[in-house]
Amino acid sequence: MDIERIIDADVLVIGGGGAACRAALAAVEAGAKTVLALKGRLGSCGATVAPGPGVAWQAADGCSAPEDSPDVHFRNIMEAGLGMADARLARILAYEVVERMEELEGWGLCFVPDLAGHKRHYTA
C-alpha cells in the first residue's frame, strides 16, 4: 500500500467522542498543531453519542434521584466500564462533571431541560 498523503501534526487524537474532542481542544489551546481522526461524522460517532451498556450517562448534576452523588456516579462509571475504566480518571469525571458541563455550556452546547424544565441536563 502506498502512502497517498502525509499529514504533519504535533498531536494526533483518535476518536470522535466527547473525550477525544476535549483532548483535541486542550492540545490546540496548548499551541499544538492537532489532528482529530474519526471513523464517522463528528457528533454522530464515539461513545458519547452511542448509548448502551458501556456508557454511564447520568451525572450527579441535580437532575437525577435525590440520593445521587459524585460517589454514585463514580460507581456507575466503574460498573458500566466492565472493569476497564481507569478509577482515577472516573473519580475526576464524577466529581468535576458539573464544572465541565458549565464549561461546555459556555462553548455553546445546549443541554436538555429536566422533566420539570428548570435544570439543564445532558442526555443521550
Angstrom distance (rounded) from CA 86 to CA 89: 5
Beta strands in 1-124 (DSSP E): 11-14, 34-37, 112-113, 120-121
Segments making up each domain of the chain, as ranges: 1-50, 51-124
Angstrom distance (rounded) from CA 43 to CA 18: 9
Whether the Cβ atoms of residue 93 and residue 77 lie closer than 8 Å to each other:
yes
0.85 exceeded by pTM: no
- The pLDDT confidence band at residue 54, using thresholds 50, 70 and 90, is very low
Angstrom distance (rounded) from CA 43 to CA 124: 12
HSE-CB of 70 using CA atoms within 13 angstroms: 11
- The pLDDT confidence band at residue 56, using thresholds 50, 70 and 90, is very low
HSE-CB of 66 using CA atoms within 13 angstroms: 0
* pLDDT tens readout for residues 81-120: 887 889 999 999 889 888 887 887 888 877 766 666 656 6
* pLDDT tens readout for residues 19-43: 888 899 999 999 999 999 988 887 7
